[in-house]
Amino acid sequence: MSKPSIPQGTRDFSPAEVRKRQYIFDTLRVIFELYGFQPLETPSMENLVTLTGKYGEEGDRLIFKILNNGLHEKKEEDKAKLHAEWEKVVSKPYSTPVVTERALRYDLTIPFARYVVMHQNELAFPFRRYQMQPVWRADRPQKGRYREFWQCDADVVGSTSLINEAELLCIYQSAFAKLQVPVTIKINSRKLLAALAELCGMPDKMMDITIAMDKLDKIGWIGVANELKERGISDDGIWQIEKVINVKGTNDEQLTAFSDIMQHSAAGMEGINELSKTLAYYKTLFPEASSVVVDISLARGLNYYTGVIVEVVCAHPDVKMGSIGGGGRYDDLTGLFGLKGLSGVGVSFGIDRIYDVMDELKVFPEQLAEGTQAMLVNFGGENETYALQLLTQLRNAGIAAEIYPDAAKFDKQMKYANKRGIVYVLLPGDEERTKGMVSVKNFVTGEQKMVSVAEAVALLKG
Amino acid sequence: MSKPSIPQGTRDFSPAEVRKRQYIFDTLRVIFELYGFQPLETPSMENLVTLTGKYGEEGDRLIFKILNNGLHEKKEEDKAKLHAEWEKVVSKPYSTPVVTERALRYDLTIPFARYVVMHQNELAFPFRRYQMQPVWRADRPQKGRYREFWQCDADVVGSTSLINEAELLCIYQSAFAKLQVPVTIKINSRKLLAALAELCGMPDKMMDITIAMDKLDKIGWIGVANELKERGISDDGIWQIEKVINVKGTNDEQLTAFSDIMQHSAAGMEGINELSKTLAYYKTLFPEASSVVVDISLARGLNYYTGVIVEVVCAHPDVKMGSIGGGGRYDDLTGLFGLKGLSGVGVSFGIDRIYDVMDELKVFPEQLAEGTQAMLVNFGGENETYALQLLTQLRNAGIAAEIYPDAAKFDKQMKYANKRGIVYVLLPGDEERTKGMVSVKNFVTGEQKMVSVAEAVALLKG
């Protein structure tokens, strides 16, 4: 039999990894709840028609589909119904036999929209939810890119107030502070990008400009300028864009400069107004020094954003990592499922990347790795019975403890404790038992002493 | 567009449901850690060859398989290798084109065995792990049976000590006590079932006897006797089994009676010895009154069990629910993947059923449902700014709070708070702002009073 393996792009999480990941999830959960966001979980599988056509052609190809095998065969009329529904969504005839009707969740946004539409009558709007679950994409695996990975989203739907944007900035600010990851939170408005296209005299080229600008960090201004040219932007347009990109200064200074440059663009002035208001709300909520920085070159790939957009990058000089979070305002997401006019705004945390950054910066709390705090050596016979009684006393005191289950050779038991990284080993031998005490050995310092049970408990709890 | 829906047998979990489920998971996690068990998570997808042939023919049919579409085409030599591997496992030629190579996790046991074999050199044995993750089965959905559901397992591999069995009993005992679910923990040994077959003079009929006995709760003794007859057990054999089933009394009394009846069966005496020792260890670890009861009719369906087996049922008279947990000793699980001679023992918690029982018994902590503790009414303008400042003060004090994001009509805001079930509504109007105070309205009692911010914080924290 060949050695078993796991599918490419998937991962086993070892005990130490699970504990660290759990720490991130728990930290975020506490903050979301503090801000009045409510948890939601949706199924791993969605109907294929729910997902198809929502992520672009490339996205459709990357959806993991589930075979119908093992399920009871559909009735003919149900098949016809399914085909009709399919054609409505995909606007192509459904010619192949039905081999798949379900697919794995591709992101948390579409299932959220689907949930809101299905439960619109029960929900109180604005509805604020957070969701932390895995998603699956049949992408080519590479370093830091997995076929199963975790998303963590917080969204508010049903309110256009910019207080929502400001609160999401606060969530970013306090979450990364709590996780001890220094960050820069970039903010922009899609409306400023629209205004840029107007400035160039090419309002229909907004997406081209957005796509090119999005690469500024990667390929620099010369690269972007070349791409803009290739995408048909005039030299004068490129010059206008350069002028805007070169604006530097504080957030206020930048916004003042932009309102000068964009004074004739309605979209531009609206975008500037949005940013000013959001930053003012944010300042009221979070008066301390903050990491939020206006960045006109910020574009964000997804084209459903319509207003303020944000992106988080790690600000530590030693960390080379792309965005570890992002989001923005979108209009009419639920319109995809027939519920029109519900504006939303949301942010996302890149769990896997945040994990990697925290590992690199060594900011996970030390005690996380520990697990078991104390192991009792098993000397067999009456000493085993005594050890079991001690074990219960330790656990009753809230100390994570275990006994080596067999009266194996002392060396074997010590090797186990060492490999597990257990710091305290308790030795309940004949002398200890008859005296009602226990010897405690610290594996790190090598120190060993015989103490009362109460003293051992106090030592382990301290 | 037709109303969106989710696949049959799957579920959305609303905020209130997520919080309650989280409470169960958190409670179990704390207990597992206290007992020195370590968390493990495996991928949702496994290679199909890992799963195929492990769950019987019926199980194989219920595995959800994932289409290869969206993935890059395999090279010819890789295909040949895959086919060869397949044939080794399934012992049938692989004749169909490769449309699926991956499948969704069917349980947590096989992935655990696969993990142990893959990581045998890094792990310290005995390895104690717990795992709480969803699994998927293409079963026909019905009340309480889902296609996506959660399993929660705790296992020890690499030790034959009965201390492990006793510790798992302690985990059951303390977990259900903590969750406030009254239970009976039934215990038996597969060896006693083997001895029963010997008593009947038909040692090869052990599985038939096991399968029939397993139905005692459902169809009663007459039903079981009929099934035994159909399965070819002699009348004398059935009479022997009846004699054993009719043994009543305390655990000690039962074991004494069994050792009398089974004195000539080596397997029987071994089983009795296992149960006595396990119960003695358990008594040492957990001297208080316990819910563990010897039940010779307990069989447990899975045929990989070889020693002690356990099952948990709710003991509350009003709750009609099957088993909410179970497990046992198995030999050589990892042998499936080439690592021989590793004995293991484990227990499982039926999360969905435990949830339903707790809901029925109303034992979820009341404050779980709450989420947001206070909502600030938004009166707009300067009052909005004042409200935002108060909001930050509340959150800094650890109070989950939110502001209605728009200065909407008062009634609309109150309706929202009511629908959300928020108990305290804070009203920062002109008077409150100029005085630096805030009015607090209790939605349950209707009481309203103006207090200082410090008093409001104290009230909400109390």
Interval A119-147: pLDDT, tens? 999 999 999 999 999 999 998 888 888 99
Domain A8-160+331-365 architecture? 2-Layer Sandwich (3.30)
Element (H, E) at B66: strand B65-67
What is the C-alpha to C-alpha distance for residues B233 and B227, in angstroms, rounded to an integer? 9
Q: Which residue, among B161, B178, B382, B414, would best test binding to A if mutated, counting the most A CBs under 10 Å from its CB?
A: B161
| Amino acid B211: pLDDT | 84
A31-62 residue pLDDT tens: 999 999 999 999 999 999 999 988 888 888 89
| Amino acid A227: pLDDT | 93
Q: What is the mean pLDDT of residues A220-241?
A: 92
B347 contacts B325 by C-beta, under 8 angstroms: yes
| Amino acid A72: pLDDT | 47
The structure's pTM equals 0.92
CB atoms within 10 A of CB A359: 12
| DSSP string computed for A199-263 | HTT-GGGHHHHHHHHTTHHHHHHHHHHHHHHHTT--HHHHHHHHHHHT--SSHHHHHHHHHHHTT
Cross-chain Cβ contact A118/B5 below 8 Å: yes
| DSSP string computed for A38-102 | EE-B--SEEEHHHHTTSSHHHHHHHPPEEE-TTSPPPPHHHHHHHHHHHHHHH-S---S---EEE
DSSP A302: -
Instruction: Read off the amino acid at residue A432.
Output: E
What is the C-alpha to C-alpha distance for residues B79 and B97, in angstroms, rounded to an integer? 10
Cross-chain Cβ contact B61/A70 below 8 Å: yes
| Amino acid B428: pLDDT | 97
What is the C-alpha to C-alpha distance for residues B373 and B388, in angstroms, rounded to an integer? 16
Closest CA to A198 of A188, A184, A209, A189: A209
Residue B332: pLDDT band with limits 50, 70, 90:
confident
Q: What is the mean pLDDT of residues B372-386?
A: 97
For residue A12, give the nearest of B3, B43, B63 by CB distance: B43
Q: Which residues of B touch A148 (CB under 8 A)?
A: 43-45
What is the C-alpha to C-alpha distance for residues A359 and A272, in angstroms, rounded to an integer? 38
What is the C-alpha to C-alpha distance for residues A66 and A364, in angstroms, rounded to an integer? 37
- The position carrying tokens 């290679």 is B47
- The position carrying tokens 């004090």 is B397
- Write down the mean pLDDT value for chain B: 91
Cross-chain Cβ contact B395/A62 below 8 Å: no
CA distance readout (Å), B289 to A385, B282, B370? 19, 11, 35
B61 contacts A70 by C-beta, under 8 angstroms: yes
Q: Which residues of B touch A151 (CB under 8 A)?
A: none
Q: Provide the shortest C-alpha distance from residue A163 to chain B (in Å).
A: 6
Instruction: Read off the amino acid at residue A80.
Output: A
A282-334 residue pLDDT tens: 999 999 888 999 999 898 876 689 999 999 999 999 998 889 999 999 988 89
**Looking at chain B, which residue has its C-alpha nearest residue A407?**
B161
For residue B284, what are its two tokens?
A: 């040492």
Exposure string of B353-369, with b = 16+ CB inside 10 Å and e = fewer, is bbbbbbeebeebeeeee
Pairing of strands B127-136, B305-314: unpaired
Cross-chain Cβ contact B70/A64 below 8 Å: yes
State whether residue A322 is helix, strand or coil: coil
| Amino acid B382: pLDDT | 97
Interface residue A443 vs chain B (CB under 8 A): no
**Looking at chain B, which residue has its C-alpha nearest residue A34?**
B400
For residue A158, what are its two tokens?
A: 């049903």
CB atoms within 10 A of CB B213: 22
Cross-chain Cβ contact B405/A163 below 8 Å: yes
Cross-chain Cβ contact A388/B163 below 8 Å: yes
- Write down the mean pLDDT value for chain A: 91
For residue A443, what are its two tokens?
A: 């594996």
What is the C-alpha to C-alpha distance for residues A350 and A176, in angstroms, rounded to an integer? 12
ipTM of the complex model:
0.91
| Amino acid B302: pLDDT | 63
B282-312 residue pLDDT tens: 999 999 888 999 999 898 876 689 999 999 9
Q: Provide the shortest C-alpha distance from residue B354 to chain A (in Å).
A: 19
A348 exposure class (CB count in 10 Å sphere: 0-12, 13-18, 19+): buried
Let me know how long chain B is.
462
Cross-chain Cβ contact B405/A45 below 8 Å: no
Interface residue B20 vs chain A (CB under 8 A): no
What is the C-alpha to C-alpha distance for residues B48 and A7, in angstroms, rounded to an integer? 9
| Amino acid B81: pLDDT | 66
What is the C-alpha to C-alpha distance for residues B261 and B200, in angstroms, rounded to an integer? 12
Element (H, E) at B80: helix B76-90
B22 contacts B13 by C-beta, under 8 angstroms: no
What is the C-alpha to C-alpha distance for residues B194 and B209, in angstroms, rounded to an integer? 9
For the domain A370-461, what is the CATH code? 3.40.50.800
What is the C-alpha to C-alpha distance for residues A422 and B36, in angstroms, rounded to an integer? 10
Question: How far from the centroid of its chain's Cα atoms is residue A347's Cα?
Answer: 9
Q: State yes or no: pLDDT of B43 exceeds 60.
A: yes
Q: What are phi and psi of B47, to 5 degrees?
A: -60, 140
Structural domain boundaries in chain B: 8-160+331-365, 370-461
What is the C-alpha to C-alpha distance for residues B298 and A53, in angstroms, rounded to an integer? 52
Number of H helices, E strands in chain B: 17, 16
| Amino acid A375: pLDDT | 97
What is the C-alpha to C-alpha distance for residues A422 and A429, in angstroms, rounded to an integer? 19
Q: What are phi and psi of B136, to 5 degrees?
A: -130, 135
Percent of chain B exceeding pLDDT 70 equals 92
Residues forming a β-bridge with B437: B452
What is the C-alpha to C-alpha distance for residues B160 and B41, in angstroms, rounded to an integer? 25
Cross-chain Cβ contact B161/A406 below 8 Å: yes
Q: What is the mean pLDDT of residues A74-99?
A: 60
Q: Which residue, among A40, A402, A420, would best test binding to B if mutated, counting the most B CBs under 10 Å from its CB?
A: A402
Interface residue B222 vs chain A (CB under 8 A): no
The sign of the dihedral angle between the CA atoms of B233, B234, B240, B243 is positive
The least confident of A337-351, A395-409, B364-378 is B364-378
Instruction: Read off the amino acid at residue A110.
Output: I
| Amino acid A216: pLDDT | 86
Cross-chain Cβ contact B104/A66 below 8 Å: yes
| Amino acid B457: pLDDT | 96
| DSSP string computed for B312-326 | EEE--TT----EEEE
What is the C-alpha to C-alpha distance for residues A168 and A157, in angstroms, rounded to an integer? 13
Instruction: Read off the amino acid at residue B315.
Output: A
Virtual CA dihedral for A451, A453, A454, A459, nearest 10 degrees? 60
Residue A203: pLDDT band with limits 50, 70, 90:
confident
Residues 138-197 of A with CB under 8 A from B: 138, 140, 147-148, 156, 159-161, 163-164, 167
B154 exposure class (CB count in 10 Å sphere: 0-12, 13-18, 19+): buried
DSSP B147: S
Exposure string of A363-390, with b = 16+ CB inside 10 Å and e = fewer, is ebeeeeebbbbbbbbbbeeebbbbbbeb
**Looking at chain B, which residue has its C-alpha nearest residue A19?**
B39
A269 contacts A259 by C-beta, under 8 angstroms: yes
What is the C-alpha to C-alpha distance for residues A430 and B57, in angstroms, rounded to an integer? 54
For residue B18, give the nearest of A15, A39, A101 by CB distance: A39
For residue B189, what are its two tokens?
A: 């040994």
- The position carrying tokens 């969803």 is B134
Closest CA to A189 of A77, A328, A286: A328
Q: Provide the shortest C-alpha distance from residue A140 to chain B (in Å).
A: 8
- Rg from Cα positions in chain A: 29
What is the C-alpha to C-alpha distance for residues A287 and B84, in angstroms, rounded to an integer? 65
For residue B229, what are its two tokens?
A: 């007859």
What is the C-alpha to C-alpha distance for residues B106 and B53, in angstroms, rounded to an integer? 12
| Amino acid B72: pLDDT | 47
DSSP B270: H
Element (H, E) at B224: helix B216-230
Cross-chain Cβ contact B46/A420 below 8 Å: no
Q: State yes or no: pLDDT of B395 exceeds 60.
A: yes
